[in-house]
Structure 1
């Protein structure tokens, strides 16, 4: 059985399986979007390899690609608004 951890996304706690990426964890929230483009459109993970940077989020105060960042207990994630 996979252990569960709590992460905080935009100030709201969510329970997710330990060891998954932030991009995968966003599927457990109300929206898989990660940021807004310069034109205001919401973006979602695209390449899954960290190359395209479409999935950038702020993790504990640092900008990170969601597809390459593993979730940790009490991690704070912020999407662009």
Structure 2
């Protein structure tokens, strides 16, 4: 799949970057070293990056330049980070953020 070779914030990136492995919600994937996490996920066919913390509605890449925060994810247990701005590195463990408990039932909304 085609990759981003110039990002408005991260700058130019070599199309011959090294392939690295990472996980997203426990699924093993691969991407190119230094490309935005969001780009690696999109290239792997993942369009839903997270679910809204309260409503549970799906969220994906929106602006792609770090303004909207819709692409925020947890990386290596820390975050949230903007996946459109965060460079991919070998071994990253990436997950969507936690949902808040439902006000009525006290339980998380179903996936």
Gaps of 5+ in 1: none
Whether the aligned pair in 2 keeps the contact of 1:44 and 1:55 (CA below 8 Å) is yes
1:34 is aligned, of 36, 49, 52, to 49
Gaps of 5+ in 2: 1-15, 98-110
**TM-score of the superposed pair, with normalisation by structure 2:** 0.66
Task: Select the structure of larger CA radius of gyration.
Answer: 2
> Hey, which of these two has a bigger chunk of helix by percent?
1
2:35 counterpart residue number:
20
**TM-score of the superposed pair, with normalisation by structure 1:** 0.88
> Hey, which of these two has a bigger chunk of strand by percent?
1
* Paired positions, count: 81
